[in-house]
Amino acid sequence: MKIKKEYEFTHNRQLWRILPTNTGKLLIEERDTQLKEAYFNCLEIDKGKTIFENVQLEEKFWIGIESVYSDIIFFHKYMKPDMPAHKGIIAFDINSASILWENMDYNFLFAADNKIYCYKTFFEGKRFFILNFSTGEVIKELGDEDLEINKIKEKFSRENEENDYLFPQQVEKKEPSDPVLKVLIGENLAAGKIEHARYGDLIFLHALENTKNGFRNIFTALDILTGKTILTEILNKKIDKFLPEAFFIKGNLLFLLKEKDTLVVYSIKQ
């Protein structure tokens, strides 16, 4: 198997969220924690062609992504800064890079079957609604039956479960039972957590490595059939602890996070 670098993305800001869509796009959220500003970017997932970049909403920082559905991003604000409770729905069209509609009275639950399921909070409790996903108009009021909402959510979650993601597993350096993984780990790696994943005849390893000047995070890909290392990437040149969740795979694409501000995307081919 071969690994080919397809593209690299960075604006030298902290990568906050990397979100592939079900329409072949890649949404990237960046944050400048000093300026307290969030930036949103969208690429074609295969080759990295820019669809939009450095988009900001009226609220520059206290904003987040609830979900992406059918090329529409659903943002939320917060009830108060530094508080986790979400407020409102802002529907943003990826293809036109513009807001379709927004409503601060509803709170997002999930999207399914071209509908938005949401709720309003009243003095006596929550009431649930179904909205048209592209206009925000109310289609139906469901009252306060949260059990019905949960059944609908479970149904659509089962039907639309993503099965082409591969996330790494964590083990302690001293614990791997896989003989190939033991060979990869070697003596150079520091004690502690290690992330690994298998993809076909490849095995991927992400770990903390000892150097003369301290530690660095290193990613390695090994072809099991030939025993050859086919890719090595230093993810963090100088670091004092292991940083998890530095890679994942979707379809045949490998996503690597470097130095907290750079995304590198590889294709995996026979």
Rounded CA gap, 44 and 227, in Å?
33
Domain count, the chain: 1
pLDDT of residue 209: 78
Return mean pLDDT, the chain.
88
3-state secondary structure of 156: helix
Taking residues 151-169, report their average pLDDT: 77
Rounded CA gap, 168 and 205, in Å?
9
- Other residues' Cβ atoms within 10 Å of the Cβ of residue 1: 16
3-state secondary structure of 252: coil
Residue 93 domain-assigned (yes or no): no
Residue type present at position 15? L
| 142: confidence class by pLDDT, cuts 50, 70, 90 | confident
Quote the tokens at residue 192: 């502690």
Residue 67 domain-assigned (yes or no): no
* Domain limits for position 218: 165-269
Residue 201 domain-assigned (yes or no): yes
SS3 letters across 83-151: CCCEEEEEEEECCCCEEEEEECCCEEEEEECCEEEEEEEECCEEEEEEEECCCCCEEEEEECCHHHHHH
Provide the percentage of residues in the chain whose pLDDT is more than 90: 60
59 versus 215: the higher-pLDDT residue is 59
pLDDT of residue 160: 62
Q: Are 6 and 265 in contact (CB under 8 A)?
A: yes
∠ CA 258-234-24, nearest 5°, is 40
Residue 10 domain-assigned (yes or no): no
3-state secondary structure of 80: coil
Report field, pTM of the whole predicted structure over 0.75 = yes
What backbone torsions phi and psi does residue 156 show, to the nearest 5 degrees?
A: -70, -30
Residues 141-171, buried b or exposed e (16+ Cβ, 10 A)?
Answer: ebeeeeeebeebeeebeeeeeeeeebebeeb
Task: Examine the pLDDT at 232 and tell me if it is beyond 60.
Answer: yes
Place of tokens 């925000």: 136
Task: Examine the pLDDT at 210 and tell me if it is beyond 90.
Answer: no
Q: What is the pLDDT of residues 82-115, one digit of tens each?
A: 778 899 999 999 999 999 999 999 999 999 889 9
Residue 26 domain-assigned (yes or no): no
Query: Which residues lie below 8 Å from residue 255, measured CB to CB, with a gap of 6+?
Result: 18, 247, 248, 249, 263, 264, 265
Residue 110 domain-assigned (yes or no): no
Task: Examine the pLDDT at 64 and tell me if it is beyond 80.
Answer: yes
Residue 119 domain-assigned (yes or no): no
Residue 229 domain-assigned (yes or no): yes
pLDDT of residue 51: 97
What residues does 105 pair with on adjacent strands?
none
∠ CA 202-188-180, nearest 5°, is 30
Quote the tokens at residue 114: 């071209």
Task: Examine the pLDDT at 53 and tell me if it is beyond 80.
Answer: yes
